[in-house]
Amino acid sequence: MQRFALVHSLAQRRLLVLNGRSKTTSLKGSKPKSTMTIVTRFAPSPTGYLHIGGARTALFNWLYARHTGGTFRLRIEDTDRQRSTPAAIDAIIEGMGWLGLNWDGEVVYQFARAARHAEVAKQLIAQGRAYHCYASPEELEAMREDQRKTGRPLRYDGRWRDRPATDAKPNVPPVVRIKAPQTGETIIHDKVQGDVRFGNDVLDDFILLRSDGTPTYMLSVVVDDHDMGVTHVIRGDDHLTNAARQRQIIDAMGWPVPTYAHLPLMHGEDGQKLSKRHGALGIHEYKDLGYLPEAMRNYLLRLGWSHGDDETISTEQAIEWFNLDSIGRSPARVDFKKLDNLNGHYMRSASDAVLADGTLALLKSKGAAVTDDLQAKLISAMPGLKERAKTLVELANGANFLVAQRPLALDDKAQKLLTPEARVILTGLEAALAATADWSASQLDAATRVFAEQKGLKLGAVAQPLRAALTGQSTSPGIFDVLVVLGRAESLARIADQARG
RNA sequence: GCCCCCAUCGUCUAGCGGCCUAGGACGUCGCCCUCUCACGGCGAAAACAGGGGUUCGAGUCCCCUUGGGGGCACCA
């Protein structure tokens, strides 16, 4: 009841804001704007984490609201008391936060509005647009079974549509069903799918209120969208047929019909329905995999929406460009390779300090010994490091040599590089490097080249063993940068370790 | 079973009747750069699902087939 009141006051406040805005506009003397402020919403049910598909839906709603200067609301559809959990609510809110999709106003909890939903159902009954149905679940299941057997469409046959309550057995609590039109057709004007027509004969009298008096989703969405002033319903394709049903309630109440945009669903890499075997589903998993939120936003945006040949689209640009007309109509498959590429792009343009923080957190979580100067080392190594990483996880792996303790563990490729001959070369190189006056990249570079030339070696023959000794790996940032970041003492010690190994 | 939606390179897509001998991006494969790996640069292979119409002209419009997907709960 508490939340119910809260939501109402919010709706009222929104109206005040609306009035205030139109007044400001007219004062400025600019041409009269449309009085309709756009309101979108993301309405997940808290039965699990924030799904990648849901995240895209949220993103599109958010972008459209931001693009139009409208309002973006978050509503938790928790009317399924069995399956809704507080943990899921937390996960959704956390996921939204990570993705940077901020909503306006308070979160609306649908179940808290159950009384309002029931009130609408009662009003519908009073208007003769809804009725009590006393059929038991078992009875209805038998009806459907019969329909299946005889190959007829599965839908409620309207057995209580015109039957008086006096026909009911005593002590059977009824459900409330909409009295839907049985002839004609319902047309959904969809911004993505175009005009979609449904014969009213295929729409049955669905349930509004369960026998325990709680509202069903079909009723709740319509009432909440109306009360929240939602003007644009942007949601998954799986709700397209629901739109036709919901339209029955909207019409019965005489409410304005929102603009619909049903997004094609996302599929796995094999084109099948997205499921666990396709890899990461929850948005939190993408965070753990080391993806950047801005890369996720860009990637998700391009999955189903396009702006000519543009691929790399910043969030600011997306807000400026986003529209409903450019949403594609066919389902898209997730493509992790492309996400990787995009993430790499955003990593390269991210600030070294931000990336260093992310890397530091990952290194700590892996139990690395974190010394005081690590942060500084990370930042100075970052330009070379971030070129080579597509995710924060790769970045942390690449930075591992900074925290590694002597004597270094060598990976297979590094092991192969450190042949007996290579170790001899390292011995000579150690002396050459130790002799440099100034431990700078340019001096170290010069010294190494001179050394290689004297020995009649190509630079690579010297640099690779050096890399192996310094990092324990066969790949790393530019080797002279590595020398500088590690510092004179540590570098020479690591070289010595391998020269005498 | 009934209803609804979708269909361009492997993937994401541009294309909204003539600009298309179909463009871009990821991925793949070559080459260049180079101390490794990346980044970057250059180049290549790669698609209008099939069949009927409409039209002077169809990837673009219509129909059918096929193939995907969604919905048909006292779930959301």
Q: Which residue has the higher pLDDT, A72 or A137?
A: A72
Asked if strand B comes closer than 7 Å to A218 Cβ, the answer is yes
- The CA–CA distances, whole Å, from A143 to A62, A138, A139, A152 equal 43, 9, 6, 11
Residue tagged 């070294």 (tokens): A352
- Please state the rounded mean pLDDT for residues A372-396: 94
For nucleotide B74, the protein residue with its alpha carbon nearest to C1' is: A210
The ipTM, to two decimals, is 0.95
**Could you tell me which residues come within 8 angstroms of residue A25 by beta carbon, excluding any fewer than 6 positions away?**
A32, A33
Q: Give strand letter and number of the nucleotide nearest A333 (CA to C1').
A: B11
A34 falls in which pLDDT band (50, 70, 90)?
A: low
Please, which pLDDT band fits residue A18 given cuts at 50, 70 and 90? very low
| A62 CA, B74 C1': Å apart | 33
A109-121 pLDDT, tens digit per residue, is 999 999 999 999 9
- Does at least one atom of strand B sit less than 7 Å from the CB of A54? no
Residues 18-37 of A with CB under 7 A from strand B: none
Q: Which pLDDT belongs to residue A393?
A: 96
Average pLDDT of the residues in A149-177: 89
Name the nucleotide nearest A45; use CA and C1'.
B76
In whole angstroms, B21 C1' to A189 CA is: 40
CA A217 to C1' B75, whole Å: 8
pLDDT tens sequence across A293-304? 999 999 999 999
Statement: residue A16 has pLDDT above 70: no
Average of per-residue pLDDT across A443-453: 96
Q: What is the mean pLDDT of residues A140-159?
A: 89
Report the share of chain A in percent with pLDDT over 70: 93
Lowest mean pLDDT among A83-87, A147-151, A392-396: A147-151
Quote the pLDDT of residue A96.
97
**Beta carbons of A180 and A312 less than 8 angstroms apart:** no
Q: What is the pLDDT of residue A29?
A: 31
* Protein CA at A299 to nucleotide C1' at B22, angstroms: 25
Calculate the angstrom distance between C1' of B17 and CA of A242: 36
DSSP A303: T
How far apart are alpha carbons A119 and A223 in whole angstroms?
10
Between A8 and A65, the more confident residue is: A65
Q: Does the pLDDT of residue A418 top 80, yes or no?
A: yes
Q: CA A188: distance to chain centroid?
A: 28
pTM of the predicted model as reported, rounded to 2 decimal places:
0.90
pLDDT tens digits along A3-15: 333 333 333 333 3
Task: Please give the helix or strand (H or E) that residue A147 lies within, else none.
Answer: helix A137-149
Q: Alpha-carbon distance A230 to A233, whole Å?
A: 7
| Between residues A431 and A21, the one the model is more confident about | A431
A332 touches strand B (CB under 7 A): yes
**Is the pLDDT confidence value at A292 over 50?**
yes
The fraction of chain A above a pLDDT of 90, given in percent, is 80
How much is the pLDDT for A57? 97
A64 close to A234: Cβ distance less than 8 angstroms:
yes
Is residue A150 very low, low, confident or very high in pLDDT (cuts 50, 70, 90)? confident
- Protein A193 CA to nucleic acid B64 C1', in Å? 21
Rounded (to 5) percent helix, strand, coil in chain A: 55, 10, 35
Query: Does the CB of A238 sit below 7 A from strand B?
Result: yes
Q: Which residues 424-463 of A interface with strand B at a CB distance below 7 A?
A: 458-460, 463
Q: What is the pLDDT of residue A5?
A: 33
Note the pLDDT tens digit of each residue in A134-149: 999 999 999 999 998 8
At residue A280, φ and ψ (nearest 5 deg) are -60, 130
Which nucleotides of strand B lie within 7 A of protein CB? 1-8, 10-15, 23-27, 34-40, 68-76
Distance, CA of A2 to CA of A115 (rounded, Å): 12
CA atoms within 13 A on the CB side of A212: 6
Active site residues of A: 276
Spacing of A193 CA from B61 C1' in Å? 17
Q: Is the minimum distance from the CB of A193 to strand B below 7 Å?
A: yes
Nearest nt (C1') from A332 Cα: B12
What order of strands is seen across the sheet that includes strand A232-236?
Answer: A194-199, A185-190, A259-263, A232-236
Mean of per-residue pLDDT scores for chain A: 90
Average pLDDT over residues A319-348: 96
Q: CB of A345 under 7 A from strand B? A: yes
Q: What is the mean pLDDT of residues A416-438?
A: 95
Phi then psi for A192, rounded to 5 degrees?
A: -100, -50
User: Which amino acid makes up residue A317?
Assistant: Q
pLDDT confidence tier of residue A372, bands split at 50, 70 and 90? confident
According to DSSP, the residues that pair with A282 across neighbouring strands are A51
Banded model confidence at residue A35, pLDDT cuts 50, 70, 90: low
Residue A23 clears pLDDT 70, i.e. is over it: no
